[in-house]
Structures are given as structure tokens and as C-alpha cells.
Structure 1
Amino acid sequence: MNNTTLESLSNELLLDLFELFDVVNLLRAFSGLNTRFNSLLYTDVRSYRVDLRSISKEDFNILYPAYLPLISNRIIYLRLSDDEDTPYQCIYFQSTGFTLSRFDNLRSLTLNNVSSDLNLNQHFFSDLHELHNLTNLKFAHCRLYHLHVEDFRGVIDQIWSLPKLTHLYWDFTFKYERHFLIPTCLSTSLQYLTIRNYNCCSYNFSRLFEKTPRLRKFSISSDSNEDDDLPISREFLPAPQSLSVTRLILLSIRSLPLMTSLFKLLPSITRLKVEIYSITLDGHQWKEMIVNYLPQLRDLQFKIDLDLCRSIDDSTNEDKVDQYLSTYRTSFWIEHHQWF
């Protein structure tokens, strides 16, 4: 009878086995056993993915001083979280003095539920510009109510200066505001941009696209009620910088001028997903907008929440619904695009 031990396994099998462990348990179980395991962990394992969303403070205290300095240059994915399972994690991370710049091979960074704490300030993000290999950056549900958005101007410029960044997800709320500051520098790499919960003005979009000339997909959610009918001025005409955008996602849109301004700026859109509220648009009006502003559109998904003036008479309500739907029963929708 053969008795198989860990020592008898090949290095290849051990490396496959290591992938089944989270970082803390892997290092706690195998680090320091002998020189072979140390060599595998600190030389042969080429990359680590560190997700700290559910780590206890006790485990973090073990990870930071004993192991993190040894693997920091091979961490390609890092996720920090201040949610209810790991409160004040970012504060604690900052207090250790271990800065983001130590992760010089980081490819993906996610900061989740960063809390509004006076001990956490913009200096926590001050090393972002040193993450030269970063391709994906995500700020999810971050609420810094003690800071003004102006305090983050330098951080935004750092992000736009990252040489390899292609994906950015931005969900921040600051003190009294949810505005997104337009960067002052040009991004030569950013292609996919999502901005959540954004109170914005239409004229900012042209400036944003000017600073993001390689943008391919733009996604935004906004509850702005901007209702001024902005004219088509020079700054709203399509610029070469905006012609690269072919995919557009609009969520929670409540302003028709805001949506129309984006359509005017992005005539090369081929795929559109839109969710609108309190805006009454029928099939004829949609057709006019598509023909005038989105001539290259191929794929369309939209959800409309509207009030068709409900009355007491149910049959009248049904007639109004049928009348509305009939505006989509035309050759434009059924035959030409096959969208209805």
C-alpha cells in the first residue's frame, strides 16, 4: 500500500493545490515548513490574488507583518472592503504604513464600501500614480461624506495618468455632492468608463471625452433633472475624440436634454442600453432621435417607466397602452431594425 504525502507530490501538483487556498490560509499552512515549500510560495508562485472582503482583523494582523511584504510584488489583484463584515479595513490598512505603491505589479484594484471616516483622507489614494501596471480600477459604493469632490482633483488626474489603465468604475459620493470632476490631463489608455450616481451637466461630457480619446464604452447612471433645452452649439458637435465610443449605457436617466446631448456627441454608437424615468417618449419620437443622432445604431435595449395618464375606466387605460405600443408597430421597428 502506497502512502502518499505532500512531500512526495511534484511541484506542479503542489502549485495546482495551492490555487485552492485563499492567501491567508495558504501562507499560514505552508510557509516556513521547509526550504522547498518556501521556494514554491515565494519563487514559483508567479502571482497572488488577495481578496480581503471577508478577512477577520486577526487574520489581517497575521497577513500584514508576516507575509504581505514577501508577496507584495507578485500580487496582481487586490480588493479592500469597509463593509459590515470588515469595518474600517481601509483605515487599518492605512495605519500600518503599507502604501499602494508597494504593489508594483498590481493589475486590478477594487476598493469596496470605503467609509466616511475622518482618519481616511485623499492621502490614502496618493500613490495611485505609481501603479504603472494597473489595468482595472474599481471604486464601489464609496461614501466619503467628510471630503469635498475638489479634494479629489489630484486623485482623478492620477487615474487619468495611469499608462495601462483600460477599465474604470467610479461610484463615489462626497460631502453635499456627487459630481465627477473632469480631469485636466489626457488618458492614453482608458477604454471602458462607468460613472455611477452622477449629478452632471451636459456641457461636461464633451470635456470628458476630450480627455479620454480612446474611450470605447461609456456607462453612466444619473438622477439629474436637468431640463434646460440646450442648443446644439460648437461644443456639442461630435469631436474626433468621441467617435471612438461605440457602446453606451444610460441608467436611471430623468433628463431628456441630458440624454439627447450624449446622443449628439456620440454618433458612432452601435450598441445602446438605456433606462429612463419620467420621460415620455413614444416610438415615433425614438425613431426621430435615432435617425437624427444615432445613424449607426444596431443593438438597442431600453426600459421606460412612464405614466400613461391612468383613468378610472380600465378599458380606456388599455386603449392608451395599445395606442402607445402602436407607435412601435411600424416598419422602422419591425422590419428595418427588428427591435419590436
Structure 2
Amino acid sequence: MNLELLPNEIFLDIFDYFDGTDLLRAFYGLNSHLNYLLYKQFRWYRFKFRSVSKRNFDMICQQYFPFITDRVISLHLFNSDDTPEQLNLFSSYIPSFSQFTHLQLLELFNIDSYKRLLKVLNECRHLNNLTHLKLHSCSFGNDQVDFQSIVNHIWSLPKLTNCYFGITVKNQRRFCVPTIISSSLECITLFLSELTMNQINRLFEYTPRLKRLLKCDLARINDNYKASSLPKLIHLDISFYSDDVSKLILFLQNIPNLRHLNIDIFTKLIDGHQWEQIIRNYLPKLKTFKLKLKPMV
């Protein structure tokens, strides 16, 4: 069967299964008809540049991106041993992320420049379709880093619903509660970030639509902790380091609509009967419960 006789719709469906790099390498240049479909008809390019060769990366950025930036919906960039300086190289070809006007997901790995991160976040403000932002293994050693500014920049993104926050400053596992309200954020992953329970209460004040709080470390318990109802929260994934289990129980009692609970406890055992009573009395909608007991290092 001659592939050129296939309807355009079938080609476009096939294209949707490919990562952008593989798609362009496989189909572009075979004939003018496919070139037309790739440049004019196909709407949803996804690029994950993990382990891509520099030659292919250069080719995509130089030859193809000038024609398709408005049709890229997800972009993943990596600074790694396999792809060193990929972010810097990308910036030399594409001056601003704001060119990707339909970008929905941006995932960045190993940013080590505070100024670069702020530049990216400023550009993201112009991306009215951006709903997912993932910042992995971003580490800064400068004391002058304004952590609050980073958080506020993220919370100011107008359509953002999901954020993976993997940022450390001088290897400190901390998180600054935002001082501006996000009316869109619904899911936050705070990888390597420590919060107190009172900070979680304030986090919900500034993130009123928050439904999922993941990978959060509760490392310090305030004596003045005041329980606050969190009716929006349906998925909680936390590590609990304190030996004051009563505060944890009080915290869980105020999440009446929780459906999924994952918890790592680095403290004395809460026996099974106690967990049963907590779930029966305070977590009536819970569907999944995963508990890990870990020794303190």
C-alpha cells in the first residue's frame, strides 16, 4: 500500500504518538505532502530532550523551531552529563520561552543560575496556556538568592494548575510560603522542602484551590500550632519527622475530604487500631492509605 494515499487524518493521528524529535527525523523530508502536514497541519508537538545528541538538538532548534514554536505544547530541557549546557544552548537559539505561545507544560532540570531561573519565570508570565511547571534539581549556592521572589513568581503565573518545586539554596531544604494568591494552582509537589503545619495552613490561604500536596516534609512542630480545616485537600503525600504524633493526628482530623494519603513516619508507631479510628472518625472519604515506618538516620 502506498502511504501517500492515506488520509491526512490518519497521518496526523500517527504523528501524535511521536516525540517531536523522533517525528521530524522520521517523516520530514520524505516528500512535500508530509512536510506540509508537519509544518501546517500538525498542532501538538511535544519535545523531551533527554539524552538527545547535540547534533539533533541543534537541528531541531535551528531548522524546525522557527516554524513550529506556536505549536509546541510540552517542552523538557535537561542539564545533565548526557546533555551538558543544554539550557544555555537552547537560550542561544531561542531568546525567550514566550515564543511558545501554546506551551502547556515546561519541565527544566538542573538549573544552577538564579538569574536564569527568574528570567524563565518572567517569560512564563506571557504563556497564557501554561498549566504545568516542573523544576527538578535546581540548586543555588548564592546567599543573595531571593527565595520568596521565586515562589511569588510561580504563584503569579495566571493559568498554572500543577507545580513540581525541586529547588534548594545552599543545600537547605526550605520553602517560603507565597505572599500573593494563586487562583489556579491545584497540585503542588514540594520535593526536598520542609514546612511546619502552620506554614501549610498559610499555604492554603494563598492557594485556595489546592487539592493535592505531594512530597512535603513536616519536620518541625510548632507548640502554637492551630488546626485549620482544609476541605479542598483530597491527596496528601508527606513525611513526618517529629515524635509529637498528637499534632499529626490533629492535622489529619481537619482534612475531611481526603481521598488519598501517603505518609512516611520517622517516629514511634501509631498502632493499627489508632489508625483505624482516625480513618473511621475523621477521614470518611479515604480510598487509599499507604504508610511507611522508617528509622531516623
Same fold, TM-score > 0.5, yes or no:
yes
Report the CA distance between 1:227 and its aligned residue.
Answer: 5.1
CA distance 1:273–1:24, shift in 2 (3 Å): closer
CA distance in 2, matches of 1:21, 1:246: 34
Q: Tell me, what secondary structure is at the counterpart of 1:138?
A: strand
Preserved contact between residue 76 and residue 108 of structure 2 (Cα < 8 Å): yes
CA distance 1:156–1:278, shift in 2 (3 Å): same
Query: Is 1:301 aligned with 2:294?
Result: no
- RMSD between aligned residues: 3.0
Report the CA distance between 1:283 and its aligned residue.
Answer: 3.3
Q: TM-score, normalised by structure 1?
A: 0.74
2:92 pairs, out of 75, 92, 95, with 95
CA distance in 1, matches of 2:215, 2:99: 32
Query: Is 1:178 aligned with 2:166?
Result: no
Aligned to 1:244: 232
Larger fraction in strand: 2
Q: Which amino acid aligns with 2:228?
A: L
Gaps of 5+ in 1: 308-340
Query: Is 1:57 aligned with 2:54?
Result: yes
Aligned to 1:68: 65
Q: Tell me, what secondary structure is at the counterpart of 2:195?
A: coil
**1:184-195 alignment runs, 5 A limit:** 184-195=179-190
CA distance in 2, matches of 1:227, 1:184: 22
Report the CA distance between 1:260 and its aligned residue.
Answer: 4.5
Q: Which amino acid aligns with 2:61?
A: Y
CA distance 1:295–1:221, shift in 2 (3 Å): closer
CA distance in 2, matches of 1:16, 1:270: 36
Report the CA distance between 1:100 and its aligned residue.
Answer: 1.5
Q: Tell me, what secondary structure is at the counterpart of 1:210?
A: helix
Q: Tell me, what secondary structure is at the counterpart of 1:220?
A: strand
Q: Find the structure with the greater CA-based Rg.
A: 1
**1:137-286 alignment runs, 5 A limit:** 137-140=133-136, 142-147=137-142, 150-222=145-217, 224=219, 226=220, 230-233=223-226, 236-238=227-229, 242-251=230-239, 253-257=240-244, 259-260=248-249, 262-263=251-252, 265-286=254-275
Query: Is 1:48 aligned with 2:79?
Result: no
Report the CA distance between 1:298 and its aligned residue.
Answer: 3.0
CA distance 1:207–1:21, shift in 2 (3 Å): closer
CA distance in 1, matches of 2:161, 2:82: 30
Q: Which amino acid aligns with 2:70?
A: N
Between 1:203-212 and 1:126-135, the stretch displaced more is 126-135
Q: Tell me, what secondary structure is at the counterpart of 1:200?
A: strand
Gaps of 5+ in 2: none
Between 1:114-123 and 1:44-53, the stretch displaced more is 114-123
Preserved contact between residue 182 and residue 207 of structure 1 (Cα < 8 Å): yes
